[in-house]
Amino acid sequence: MGGDASAPRDVAEEAARRRTFAVISHPDAGKSTLTEALALHAAAIDEAGAVHGKAGRRGVRSDWMDMERARGISITSSVLRFEHGGMLLNLLDTPGHADFSEDTYRVLAAVDGAIMLLDSAKGLEAQTLKLFDVCRHRGVPVITFVNKWDRPGREPLELLDEIEQRIGLRPAPLNWPVGVAGDFRGLIDRASGSFTRFHRTPGGARRAVAEHVPAERAAREEGGAWETAVEELALLDEIGAVLDAEAFAAGTCSPVLFGAALPNFGVGALLETVCRLAPAPSAREDETGGERPLSAPFAGQVFKVQAGMDRAHRDSLAFVRVCSGRFERGMPLTHAQTGRPLVTKYAQTVFGRDRSTLDAAYPGDVIGLPNASGLTVGDTLYAKAPVVFPPIPSFAPEHFMVARTTDNSRAKQFRRGIEQLDKEGVVQVLRSDLRGDQAPVLAAVGPLQFDVVAARMADEFTAPVELTRLDYSTARVTDKESAEVLNGRRGVEVLTRTLDGSLIAVFVDRWRLRAIEREHPGVTLTPMLAAGVPD
């Protein structure tokens, strides 16, 4: 089919109305709740879910895995696609927990912008700082949303100062709260000076009712809270805390908005800001350092592989970010890493765990390709004009377990499950000459990843596993010559990564690593990407 031959103008126009962005935060900042609140305000869903773990309440739409609903945390990324105000939004929800930061990094490789969510009481937390470092490293512009203003928290000026001092990002508030955190009266829009009050709906299941109040009336009714807000706004004007579009695009300035995601206060303003300010897709750098123009024939990159999303579909789904050209369902593609052709007649669009047929897609969109065997995270697909995008690196694992099946009659299912989880990047699977294929070593950034392995192996693959901890905590990439030197040394073991055949040397601790480096200065021990912190 000729989808990649569509007029460049059509591709440019369609790309210009796309906004592909992620929501990032520390755990418990309200990220998944905000994700659904945005979909609710865009009328993509009729009724929102609610906070996890509350009896009688539904889980959020983007958290579809049983473990997510049970534990009240996001442990895998998901995609929500919806339209609003003539724009097509691809919202990628990300895991909040640090143990799953590698999944978040993959998502940030696929987006053009991000919403950084802050808890009004806690401000910048450790995981938020790490994720912002990744955004800075990848050149991803950030919009800041200060959440939970309906609960007790810190002073707004104090939060702005923390953003500037701790991460060097100049904050530019677009609205301002009337009333301290926990006594939320409403929001003043800085551009127009208008004031909006919000009225809750039961459980926050539907959009909050917005009441627009003239400034003179608001001043009478809100009294001291209004006066304080006006004084703070005057101070912001004096210090020049205004949005600089070029600085925002360069990643040095962040628009800031205030609100509360659970009752849906201020979420509409955030949605409008994303549509107005978040960057549209642009040319992406390929492996040679050149750029793939949006008007070039279709090309895309796999940033996620996921199985088990729906019990009715016992398949895996490869998520592909469209980087250039027009995609049409059924068009022939080439897998750049192998040169093999790929059939796309079953291409889908994804909304959480729900799927529907996708006929066409443009730069910024996310395509779901079911049962695309051989695809792994970071792979490139293209039509006609060859291209390879830079690989998405793996993080350095810090936790290691040996996996064994608890039922030898399920050995086939065990091997298939471990292979699938390896392709998805749930863990890195390493082969040990000491243990053989029946006892692979699983390597992870955080221990919760092993809980996901155990749960999915038992549930999806009906192959329960026994996991035994190994006393290693540091990993380096090595080569064959160095492996011959390292093998047999105390406190070190060389393993083979099954996905790409690379050799990984693991050490009991950093002191043992340094000792080996002193004793054998010629060995190759290349650091891997640290969890959430770019080199």
Rounded Cα gap, residues 456 and 453, in angstroms: 5
- 93 marked as binding residue: yes
22 near 301, Cβ under 8 Å?
A: no
Rounded Cα gap, residues 113 and 278, in angstroms: 6
Note the helical H segments in 358-508.
411-424, 448-459, 480-486
- 95 marked as binding residue: yes
Rounded Cα gap, residues 397 and 372, in angstroms: 27
Q: Using CA atoms in the order 340, 344, 346, 352, what is the torsion angle rounded to 10 degrees?
A: 90
Rounded Cα gap, residues 167 and 250, in angstroms: 14
Render the burial of 170-188: b for 16+ CB within 10 Å, e for the rest: bbbbbbbbbbbbeebbbbb
Instruction: Give residue 275's identity as a one-letter amino acid code.
Output: C
- 179 marked as binding residue: no
Rounded Cα gap, residues 494 and 499, in angstroms: 15
H or E element that contains 108: helix 101-108
First to last CA, the chain: 42
What is the residue-wise DSSP string for 285-352? E-TTS-EE-TTSSPEEEEEEEEE-SBTTB-SEEEEEEEEES-EETT--EEETTT--EE--TT-EEEET
- 341 marked as binding residue: no
- 96 marked as binding residue: yes
| Length, in residues, of the chain | 535
- Binding positions for GTP are 93-97
Q: Per the annotation, where are the binding residues? A: 93-97
